[in-house]
């Protein structure tokens, strides 16, 4: 799973929540570019923010659970890219309960993509020091 913030505008809250320092960047892209570089090997969809007290996640489809979050996360406007390998998925399920066994969860799967086809721009954290702005600005055009 790969998660993206989907909005026409930057969010001060997202910078505060998800960057560890003022020396941070965000990659700017769009849905079509992400979909295209993933070559159809991933499902790309919007997260649905629900009230777990009053709404249920539809059963019998793993994507339903992976594309739902609590309403309190609605500020994230999240888009997720999900790679699904059915045979690998079966290996992480606990045999008796059919629940995900976190001890068997892989750290991730490397997926080669062409960054130049994905990235529209790079956003620098709004509170970054000038030295960091200069450093990032000097690397412009070096992504292949």
Give the list of residues 6+ apart from residue 126 with CB closer than 8 angstroms, or none. 10, 12, 15
Using the structure block, give the residue that is written with the tokens 């790079």. 122
Judge whether residue 84 has pLDDT over 80.
no
Mean pLDDT of the chain: 83
Q: What is the pLDDT of residues 40-67, one digit of tens each?
A: 888 899 999 999 999 988 887 778 888 9
Where in the chain are the domains?
Answer: 2-138
Q: Where are the beta strands (DSSP E) in 29-136?
A: 42-46, 48-50, 68-70, 78-83, 121-124
């Amino acid at each position: 799973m790969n998660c993206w913030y989907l909005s026409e505008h930057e969010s001060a809250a997202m910078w505060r929540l998800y960057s560890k320092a003022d020396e941070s960047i965000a990659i700017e892209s769009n849905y079509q570019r992400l979909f295209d570089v993933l070559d159809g090997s991933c499902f790309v969809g919007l997260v649905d923010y629900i009230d777990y007290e009053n709404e249920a996640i539809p059963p019998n489809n793993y994507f339903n659970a992976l594309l739902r979050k609590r309403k309190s996360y609605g500020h994230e406007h999240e888009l997720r890219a999900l790679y699904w390998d059915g045979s690998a998925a079966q290996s992480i399920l606990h045999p008796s309960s059919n629940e995900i066994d976190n001890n068997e969860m892989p750290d991730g799967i490397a997926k080669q993509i062409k960054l130049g086809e994905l990235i529209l721009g790079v956003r620098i954290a709004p509170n970054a020091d000038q030295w960091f702005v200069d450093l990032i600005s000097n690397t412009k055009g070096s992504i292949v």
